[in-house]
Amino acid sequence: MSLLKPLLSLIRSIIHSDDFFERSRVNGSAFTRNRILDFSKTLIYILWCAKTSLPSTLHAFLQDILKGQSSCTRQAFSKRRKLIKPEAFKELYRASSEFLVKSVPSVTGALRKFAIDGSRVNLVSHPELVKTFGIQKGTGGLPQALISTLYDVENHFSIDVQIRPHDGNEREMAQAHLERLKQLMGDSPYLVIFDRGYPSGKLLETFANSSGYFLMRCPTEFVKALDKRKKDAWFTHKFHSVKQPLTFRVIRVVLPDGTEEILCTNLPNSYSASDVMDLYLHRWRIEISYDFLKNRVQLENLSGITLCAFFQQLFACLLMSNLCAAYYCENRVYEIEDGNAPSLMLHPTDDRPHKRDRRINMATVLAAIRSILPLVLVMPRSHLSRWIFLIDVHRLKNVFRYDKKGRKKPRLRVHPGLKFTQSQRPSF
């Protein structure tokens, strides 16, 4: 199943279309003069420049694209990026998510599995960002944006994102995600997993007249009126926020440390309590996705300090993450044992025996895609296949990492710095 090549072709066709150009520039006079950084090169550079500082990457980018014919200052780039609406990057990101939803099936069965969760992103101290998102206590005076994501936990790509001030309502953002999910899934069955900050009558009511299922971890007070003697039972309860009583299933699970975890769902009894618990564990993958965005794609290393620059980079980072997910989905091979969850991931062309399980190294995939992205999106369409081939042959030699079993000492993880030094910090 080929995914990365058609997705890159789709992104390329959108970027170079006249309609996209007209609706993406801020006014009719933008990008009308002949400049080194035209519309497509400016947009592609913003996609490409995540993870490193602006002064070092601008020169390298132009060297790759223009082969040393000319150069450009970062001040000139600053003026050019202001002429592109953030909605252009949002359109590219939504195109990638729609493509992946339609092209990538569920790994295990017909039930698609998604998760919704939020995270706060640290921004730079700029009056425009402070006014829009506000400052939360304990952040050292830095503004924070609240980002909520609808995430495919089986295929590792995001489908929808909502951005609010740091004190935004995550339940309202979840409602917007569910509307988007209904548009994409139609009548197909799906499961949405939530953490314990989401349970509410209105959110449960959303699933009453849909083909979707929900699974939530609940705080004790959410089900305090229900019979605690039953470990797995259906209940009908009237919430103050909804007009009609709602029927749902409550499962009580005792964890190894003796604490009790309460799960609320509308999954049928064909899913046992242990099955439901295993499904809930999939939710952790959205937490991993935020770690990937912040520490690998480095979302918080902003290439600009304005509101426009933040939205541009946010959707650019999400698009890069989805490109990595496309490569992951087309190169995984699962070994299923007795109908259980996938236990092994191998490259389709690699039949060598290995003592340890191997998994795709997403950091290597990100570096490889980023290295060829400018040329793939700028070069003639006839050369696209050759450059996609380079991803597989030359750039991804170490794409797999081995799972280490029986580790005696915990691995020490050293996270890279997330902020540029003052001398590297952009000024636009």
Mean pLDDT of the region 314-336: 81
Q: Which residues, including other chains, have CB under 8 Å from residue 378's CB and lie 6 or more apart?
A: 40, 41, 44, 65
Q: How high is the pLDDT of residue 355?
A: 43
Sorting pLDDT into bands at 50, 70 and 90, what band is 428?
A: very low
Higher pLDDT, 340 or 115: 115
pLDDT of residue 9: 87
Residues 15, 43 contacting (CB under 8 angstroms): yes
pLDDT in tens, 274-305: 999 999 999 999 999 999 999 888 888 887 88
Q: Rounded distance, CA 51 to CA 292, Å? A: 12
- Alpha helix stretches (DSSP H) within 115-208: 127-133, 170-185, 201-206
125-139, 140-154, 160-174: the lowest-pLDDT one: 125-139
CA of residue 371 relative to chain centroid, distance: 20
Bridge partners, 152 (sequence order):
114, 157
Are 279 and 113 in contact by the 8 Å Cβ rule? The answer is yes
- pTM for the full predicted model: 0.84
Beta bridge partners of 214: 192
At residue 26, the pLDDT reads: 92
What share of the chain has pLDDT > 70, as a percent?
75
pLDDT range class, residue 225, cuts 50, 70, 90: low
| pLDDT value at 424 more than 70 | no
Domain ranges of the chain: 4-86+304-402, 106-285
Q: Average model confidence (pLDDT) for the chain?
A: 79
Length of the chain: 428
Strand order in the sheet with 190-194: 157-165, 144-152, 112-122, 190-194, 212-218, 260-265, 246-254, 232-237
Per-residue confidence (pLDDT) for residue 56, from 0 to 100 = 54
CATH class of 106-285: alpha beta
pLDDT digits (tens, 9 = 90+) for 61-87: 666 655 555 567 778 888 888 999 999
pLDDT in tens, 4-55: 888 988 999 999 999 999 999 999 888 888 887 889 888 888 887 755 555 5
pLDDT for 145 beyond 70: yes
Instruction: Report the range of poorest mean pLDDT among 159-163, 226-230, 342-346.
Output: 342-346
Closest CA to 146 of 125, 172, 128: 172
Helix axes 39-48, 307-331, angle to 10 degrees: 70
Mean pLDDT of 229-242: 82
- In this prediction, residue 348 has a pLDDT band, given cuts at 50, 70 and 90, of very low
Q: Which of 297, 377, 302, 305 is nearest to 44 (CA)?
A: 377
List of long-range contacts for 339-344, beta carbons under 8 Å, 24+ apart: 341/108, 341/278, 342/107, 342/108
**DSSP secondary structure letters along 10-55:** HHHHHHT-HHHHHHHBSSTTTT-S--SS-HHHHHHHHHH-TTS-HH
